[in-house]
Structure 1
Amino acid sequence: MNVKLMDKSLQSPRSPSTIRSRHRKKSTEAFPNVVKLSDNNLLLNDQNKYKSMWVRTYSSVWMLLCFMLVVYLGHIYLWGMIVVIQILMTSELFNLLRRAHEAKQLPGFRLLNWHFFFTAMLFVYGRMLGQQLMHAVTPDKFFYKLAMRFMKYQMVICYFLYIAGFMWFILTLKKKMYKYQFSQYAWTHMILIVVFTQSSFTAANIFEGLFWFLLPASLISTNDVAAYFFGFFFGRTPLIKISPRKTWEGFIGASVTTVIAAFFLANVLGHYQWMTCPRRDFSTGWLECDPGPYFKPEIFELPKEISQVLPWKEITVLPVQWHALCLGLFASVIAPFGGFFASGFKRAFKIKDFGGSIPGHGGFTDRMDCQMVMAVFAYIYHQSFVIPQYYPVEILFEQILRSLNLEDQELLVTKLKEVMDARNLQH
C-alpha cells in the first residue's frame, strides 16, 4: 500500500512552480475578449497594424467632416450633437451589465432606466434652456411666461419625477431578483453621474463661446492621434499595464505635440468672433461682440537667446494663447488617465470595447473617455482664471434681464432711482 501511494505521489507532483504556472494559465483565460500583449506585440511589431490604421483613419476622417459641419451650423446644433452622443453613450453603458435572462423577467425595467435618464436631462438642461428661451422672445409672449414658470418650479418638477421613478422601482421589486435589480439601480445612477457631469460642463462651454469647447476637444483629439502615430512608428516601451498598447514614446511625443498645437490653434480660433462670442439665445445668426482683452493681439518680445537664432525679435500673440498652454498641458498629461480608467474598467468586465458603433474606434464611450475629463477642467479653468472676477454693469444687466420679469425690473428701477435721489440730497 505504501508503494502504491508513493507511485501516485510521483505521478502527480504538485511543486510550487507547477501551481504558479496553472494559476497563470487560468488568469489569462479570465479575459477571453482581451488580446494578450507582450513587449513584442506593441504597434511597432503588429503585423495587422496597417489594416487597423486605415480603418481607423477612414472613420476618423468621416467623424471630423461631420463634426466640422455641425460646428459650422452653430451652437444649438452642436449642443444637439452632444445630447445625441449622450444618449448613445448611455445606451452602451446600460447594455454593458444587462443580462437578457433577467431582463425578460422584468418587463418595464428598461423603461425605468430611461425614465431616470430623461429626468436627469431635464434637471441639467432645463434651467439653461429656459434662460436661452427668455432671451429669444419678448416678455409679453406666452413662451417667455412659460419659461419663467418652469424655471421657478424646475427643481420641484424634477424631484417628483425622480420620486416617481424611485416608487416605480420599489413596486417592481421581484423575489429572487433583488440583487440584480439593486445592482442595475446603482449602475444606472453611476452612469447618470458620469455622463451628465461631463455633458453639462460641455454644454456650458459651448454657450460661453465655441472657442472654449472646440479648443479642449481638439486638443484631446490631437493628443490621441499623436499618441497613436508615435506609438505606431516608435513605440517600444510599455507605459501602463492596463493599457498594453500605450507606450512611453507615444505618451511623450503626444504631450509635446499637444502643447505646441494648443499655442497655435488658440491663435487661429481666437481671431474669429464666431468662435469667441457667447451665445445667449436660440438664434443661429452671426455673432458680433467685443472679444475682450484675451482675444486682442499683443506684441511679445522674444528673449535675446531666441531672437539671435530666429529672424524675428517680436511676435504678435493673443493673451489667450498662454492659457491654451495650460489646457494643452492638462490634455496631454492628465486627461489620458480618463482613457486608462476606461481601459481598466473594460478589463474588469472582460470586454474589448464599450460598443461597435465606430469602426476601428469601438463605441462612443470609447471616444469620450478623455473628453469627459477635459470638459470639466476646461469649464473650471475658464471660470477660475479667464472670466473677470468682478461683475461689470453689462453682466449685471444681463442677469437682471434673465432673472426678473418686467414688473420686477420696473420695481428695481424705481428702487435704484430712490437710492440715487437720496444720495444726491445728502451731497
Structure 2
Amino acid sequence: MEKEPSSSSDVSASNVGRVRNRRRANEVTTDGNKADGQTLLVSDRNKYKSMLIRTYSTVWMIGGFAFLVYMGHLYIWAMVVVIQIFMATELFNLLRKSSEEKQLPGFRLLNWHFFFTAMLFTYGRFLSRELVNTVSSDHLLYKLVSSLIKYQMFICYFLYISGFVWFILTLKKKTYKYQFKQYAWTHMILLTVFAQSSFTVANIFEGMFWFLLPASLIVINDIAAYLFGFFLGRTPLIKLSPKKTWEGFIGASVTTIISAFLLANVMGRSQWFTCPRKDLSTGWLQCDPGPMFKPEHYYLGDWAPQWVRKNISFSIC
C-alpha cells in the first residue's frame, strides 16, 4: 500500500518529462522555421505593414531631398554638414566609457574642438573662392574675408596645437590608456568623415550633376531591390541578411543600369545641375555647358537593315 504512491509519482514525473521534451522539440522546430529564409520571405504577415511604413518614410525623405536640390548648392552643403555631425556623434560614442568620462570632465568637448578645427581646415580650402566671390561687393567685408583666408592655415594650425596642449593638460595617471585611445580614435573619425565628404562638397560646387546622379542611383537601387525582393523574392542572398534575395539583387542591378542612362540624359540637359557654382548665393545659374553635356548623335552602321537606319538613331548626352 505504501509503494503505490511512489509508483504513481514516478509515472507522473515521467509523463511531465515527456511533455517537456515534446515542448522543447516543438520549440526547436519553430525556431528552425524562423531561421528558414524562404519562410521569412514568403509568409511574413507583417511585411505589408512594413512596406507601408517604408513607403511613407521614403516619400518624405525624397520630398525633403528634392526641396534641398531646388534650393541650391548651399543647402545641399548644409545637409552634408549636418550628416557629418550626426556621423561624428555616433562614432564618438562608439568607444565611450561612462565610468572613465566621469573622471575626465570636459574631455568630450576636446573631441568636438578637433572636429570643428578639421571642418574649418577642410572647407576653408575648398570654399575660399566661393566665399570671396560672395562678399566682393562689400569692400570692408571683402577685406576681412580675404585676410581670414590668407591666414586660414595659420588659424587651423593654432587651433590644432591648442587642442593638443589641452589634451596634454587633461592627462591623468589612471586613464592614460583610455585618453590616448580616444585621441587616436578622434583622428581616425576626422579622417573618415572629412576625407570623403570634402570631395563630395567639391563636386557639389563643380556642378550638382556630379553629386545628384550617384546619390539618385543609390536611392533607385535600394528601392528597386526592396520592391523586387518584396514581390518576387524567393532565393536568399546571404545569411547575414536573410531577407535579401537574388531576385532583388538582379532586379535592382538592371534597374540601376537603365536608370543611369536615363537620368544622365535628363540631368545633363539642365543648367541648374551642370553649371558650377562660383559663389555662395542661391540664384539661378547660366553657363555654357561643356562638351561632356552636349548631346552627340550616333547612327547605325551598314550592318543594320535600311528601314532601321532611316527610322532609328541614338542620342547620348
For normalisation by structure 1, the TM-score amounts to: 0.61
Conservation of the 8 A alpha-carbon contact between 1:139 and 1:145 = no
Letter in 1 for 2:217: L
Offset of 1:203 from its aligned partner? 0.6
* Counterpart in the other structure of 2:117: 119
1:41-56 correspondence to structure 2 within 5 Å: 42-56=40-54
User: 1:246 is paired with a residue of what secondary structure?
Assistant: coil
User: Within 1, Cα distance between the matches of 2:55 and 2:304?
Assistant: 41
- Report the Cα offset of residue 223 of structure 1: 1.1
**Over the residues paired in the alignment, what is the CA RMSD in angstroms?**
2.5
Compared CA separation, residues 159 and 264, structure 1 to 2 (3 A): same
Residue 14 of structure 2 is matched in structure 1 by none
The CA deviation string for residues 127-179 of structure 1, in whole angstroms up to 9 with x for no partner, is: 23321122123388223223332333222221221121122122212232223
For residue 11 of structure 2, what is the aligned residue in structure 1? none
Written as runs of structure 1 = structure 2, the 5 A alignment for 1:175-186 is: 175-186=173-184
Equivalent residue runs for 1:23-172 within 5 Å: 38-40=36-38, 42-138=40-136, 141-172=139-170
Pair 1:317 & 2:316 matched: yes
Q: Which has the larger radius of gyration?
A: 2
The letter of the residue matching 1:95 is N
Match of 1:256 in 2: 254
Listed as ranges, the matches of 1:190-205 within 5 Å are 190-205=188-203
User: Which secondary structure state, in structure 1, belongs to the residue aligned with residue 174 of structure 2?
Assistant: coil
AA aligned to 1:171 is L
For 2:154, give the aligned amino acid: V
- CA 1:189–1:297 in 2, change beyond 3 Å: closer, same or farther? same
In the alignment, what sits opposite 1:336? none
In 2, distance between residues paired with 1:81 and 1:307?
A: 53
Residue deviations 1:330-366 (CA, integer Å, cap 9, x gap): xxxxxxxxxxxxxxxxxxxxxxxxxxxxxxxxxxxxx
Give me the identity figure in percent: 67
Question: In 2, are the aligned partners of 1:307 and 1:313 still within 8 Å (CA)?
Answer: no
Q: Are the counterparts in 1 of residues 300 and 309 from structure 2 also a CA contact under 8 Å?
A: no
Residues 282-297 of structure 1 aligned to structure 2 (within 5 Å)? 282-297=280-295
Residue 50 of structure 1 deviates from its aligned partner by 2.1
For structure 1, the 5+ residue unaligned runs are: 1-35, 319-427
The aligned residue for residue 4 of structure 1 is none
Call closer, same or farther: CA 1:201–1:43 in 2, change over 3 Å: farther
1:371-403 Cα shifts (integer Å, max 9, x gaps)? xxxxxxxxxxxxxxxxxxxxxxxxxxxxxxxxx
- State how far apart, in whole Å, the 1-side matches of 2:55 and 2:308 are: 38
Residue 271 of structure 1 corresponds to which residue in structure 2? 269
- Alpha-carbon offset, residue 236 of structure 1: 3.5
| Cα offset, 1:267, TM superposition | 1.0
Distance of 2:282 and 2:60 partners within structure 1: 24
Residue 220 in structure 1 maps to residue 206 in structure 2: no
The residue type paired with residue 96 of structure 2 is: R
C-alpha displacement at 1:295, in angstroms? 1.6
Give the 3 Å change call, closer, same or farther, for CA 139–65 of structure 1 in structure 2.
closer
SS at the partner of 2:151? helix
Report the Cα distance in structure 2 between the residues aligned to 1:182 and 1:306, rounded to whole angstroms. Answer: 73
After superposition, give the CA deviation of every residue in 1:36-88 in whole Å (9 maximum; x if it has no partner): 95534654443322222222221111111111111111111111111111111
Please state how far the C-alpha of 1:123 moved relative to its aligned partner.
0.6
Report the 3-state secondary structure (helix = DSSP H, G, I; strand = E; otherwise coil) of the residue aligned with 1:257: helix
| Residue identity opposite 2:161 in structure 1 | I
Q: Is the 8 A contact 2:224 2:252 kept in 1?
A: yes
Bigger mean CA offset, 267-276 vs 296-305: 296-305
Structure 2 Cα separation of the partners of residues 250 and 308 of structure 1: 38
Matches within 5 A, 1:223-372: 223-302=221-300, 312-318=311-317
Amino acid at match of 2:196: Q
45 and 102 in structure 1: CA distance in 2 versus 1, 3 angstrom threshold: farther
The Cα shift of 1:204 comes to 0.6
